[in-house]
Amino acid sequence: MFSQTVTEVLWSLNLKPMATKLLPLRKLSRILKLPSSSSCSFRKCPYLLEASIPLIHISNNVHQFHPPSFSQSFSSRPLDIVGDDSRGPATIDYSSLMQEGEFHRLADFTIQGLQEKLEEYGDNLQIDGFDVDYGNEVLTLRLGNLGTYVLNKQTPNRQIWLSSPLSGPSRFDWDQNSRAWIYRRNKANLLSLLETELMQLCGEPINLS
C-alpha cells in the first residue's frame, strides 16, 4: 500500500517550504509521474526523492536570481563624431553653395577649356586611340591602351567629378581663394593633377592653366 503521500515525504525531508513554493502537489505528482494507484510505496518509488531534489534547487535559484543592471553599460553622452572627410562625404550645406548659374559658368569654362587644350595636345602625340569627346556635359579623354579620363559636372553638389586611370575618382569643389577646382581630401588642383598624370602617361608635357 501507498503508506506515505507526497506531502508526508516532503515533510519528512524538511522540504515543505521549498516544495510548496515550486508547484502545487498535484502538478508535482504529474511531473514526477507518480502512479495513480495507491499500491506504490515511497520505497518502491525512489525516483520521487531523486526527481524532487533538482526541482527544489531550481526553486531556490529562481528566488535568488537578480537581473543584471545595465545602468553602467550605457552612457547618455552623445557620440564624439568628428567631421573628417576621410570617413566619407560630408553632409552638403546647400545654403553655403554658390548659385547654380555661377557654378555652370565656372564649370563650363573649365571643361571647354580642357577640351580645346587636350585636342591640341593630341596633335603632338603618337598614341593609337587618342580621342577627345564632349557631349551631355561629359568630357571624355581616351588614350588607347593607356586608359580613359572622364570629367562631368555634378550640379546638386556644385562639383566637377573626375575619373582617372591613375588616381581613380575625385570630386573637385570650386575654391574662391585660389580660383581653382580643388579636391578637399588631398588639396589637389584639378588642372595640376591632369598635367602631372598626362606627362606620366604620355611622356609629353602639357600646360592646362
76-109 burial string, b = 16+ CB within 10 Å, else e? eeeeeeeeeeeeeeeeeeeeebeeeeebeebbee
Q: Is the pLDDT of residue 10 over 90?
A: no
Query: Do 60 and 106 reside in the same domain of the chain?
Result: no
Query: Is 85 within the bounds of a domain?
Result: no
CA distances for 134 relative to 8, 93, 111, 118, 149, angstroms? 99, 30, 9, 11, 12
Q: What is the CATH number of the domain that holds 172?
A: 3.30.920.10
* Domain enclosing residue 17, as ranges: 6-64
Query: Is 149 within the bounds of a domain?
Result: yes
Note the Cα 188 to chain centre separation in Å. Answer: 28
pLDDT band at 134; cut points 50, 70, 90: very high
Query: Do 59 and 115 reside in the same domain of the chain?
Result: no
* Domain's final residue, options 19, 39, 64: 64
Query: Is 75 within the bounds of a domain?
Result: no
What would the pLDDT profile of 11-39 be if each residue is shown by its tens digit? 555 544 444 444 444 554 455 554 544 44
Domains held by the chain: number: 2
- Claim: this prediction has a pTM higher than 0.85: no
State the DSSP H helix or E strand holding residue 127, giving kind and residue range, or none if neither.
Answer: none
Among the residue ranges 46-55, 180-189, 190-199, the one predicted with the least confidence is 46-55
Report pLDDT for 140. Answer: 98
Report pLDDT for 7. Answer: 53
